[in-house]
Amino acid sequence: MDRISVVVPCYRSAPFLEEALASLRAQTRPPDEVIVADDGSTDEATVALLPRLERDGVRVLREPHRGPGPARNAAIGASSGTLVLPLDADDALAPAALEKLAGALEADASLDFAFSHVEYFGSVRGTAVPPRFNPYLELDDNKLVVTALFRRSVFSDRGLGYPALDGYEDWSFWLSACEAGLCGVAVEEPLFRYRRHDAGRLTADHARRASLMAGLRQRHAALYERRAELKLRFAPGVECIGGARVTLADAVASAPRDARELLFGARGKYLLFGAGVGDALVRELEAEPKRDVARAGDLVLVRTHALTSLAAVPEGAPPEWLIPDAPSLSRRTWKLARGAAERMLGEDRVGQWLHPLKERAATIGPRPLLPPSVRVERALLDREPVHA
């Protein structure tokens, strides 16, 4: 079993640090070591807290004040685990976090890191689902948070680390992960607890987003120059299944073995089935965002995100099994119709009418629920225009 190290950068964090450490003590798979890297705190509360933590068995590094990135790097360098998880001092983990994240990495040697959904607490409450790791989506917005479980080789062999930036240092790290070709997986549960502040560091960073993004593009210039390549690999506009083809530059050929592989693996905005050129169908659906399906003879174009509503896929069904028999009602259209009904009749009454239908649908047979991270990714990519 792998040895797990949790590294916690700390700067003037006394009001929150003990809660973060308590969440580590409550883990169903406890960490093998916890290292707190103090980033030059001078406030009385934090200075008094650190010696007490050392007496309780927490290893404390005292670093000069250089920011969270160098503090994380120092703690990672001092750690001994084969798996490493950075946790900010004002955040926390759900009790099963380390067990489930480590389980994902131990089950698949090809993965470099594992991350999870996010539970917000503090000034904002709720949950957030990140998309599955997609280097193309990372170019324009950071879809991940700093807390994920990494193999130590990410830092020791690949040479990755957190930059000493005044803002968006975690985004810069993920862009470095894209440059290094890392592969990660989402564990589809809210295992990371992210404290939201009314006026925290992230809020301050967003206030100067334009200048910080300009710095990221300069720092990772080679990656941004590969935008077209990353688009084609991780977010093609059209995936051509079988004999279909298009003349658009934003299209790739795909040959899934069966419908299930296609359903769970598709990354394109559209799937094109059949023999012939489908450019006209692409333009047709691009012009009508409320439609999910377009046909022309044997050619069928389907919005990938619409596939998430299909019933269970029979074992070994061909990819063409996923083609709807008729143009489907867009989920967005459904939401508009339901919203109008709720405004007229009330949410409770509409919900009571729909509940028996949901119960009946549940008894018909199992439905393959796509991982939430895949559904979020498809929703994001569905907004991306297809360029000729």
Return d(Cα 85, Cα 114) in angstroms, integer: 10
Q: Under a CB-based contact definition with an 8 Å cutoff, are residues 144 and 115 in contact?
A: yes
What mean pLDDT is predicted for residues 9-25? 95
pLDDT one-digit tens code per residue, 118-154? 999 988 889 999 999 999 999 999 999 999 999 999 9
> How large a percentage of the chain has pLDDT more than 90?
70
The pLDDT of 67-93, averaged and rounded, is 96
Summarised one tens digit per residue, pLDDT across range 178-222 is 999 999 999 999 999 999 887 667 677 777 889 999 999 999 999
pLDDT at 28 over 60: yes
For 239-280, the pLDDT digits (tens) are 999 889 999 999 999 999 999 999 999 999 999 999 889 999
According to the CATH classification, is domain 4-224 in 3.90.550.10?
A: yes
CA–CA gap between residue 295 and residue 272 (Å, rounded): 10
Average pLDDT over residues 8-17: 94
Nearest to 33 by CA among 63, 57, 69: 57
pLDDT grade, residue 298 (50/70/90)? confident
Q: What is the pTM of this model?
A: 0.86
User: For the chain, which residues make up each domain, given as ranges?
Assistant: 4-224, 235-330+367-382, 333-364
What are the angstrom distances between the C-alpha of 31 and each of 1, 95, 101, 104, 330? 12, 12, 12, 16, 46
Nearest CA to 246 among 284, 278, 294? 278
Report the chain's mean pLDDT, rounded to a whole number: 89
pLDDT range class, residue 364, cuts 50, 70, 90: very low
Q: In one letter, which amino acid is 362?
A: A
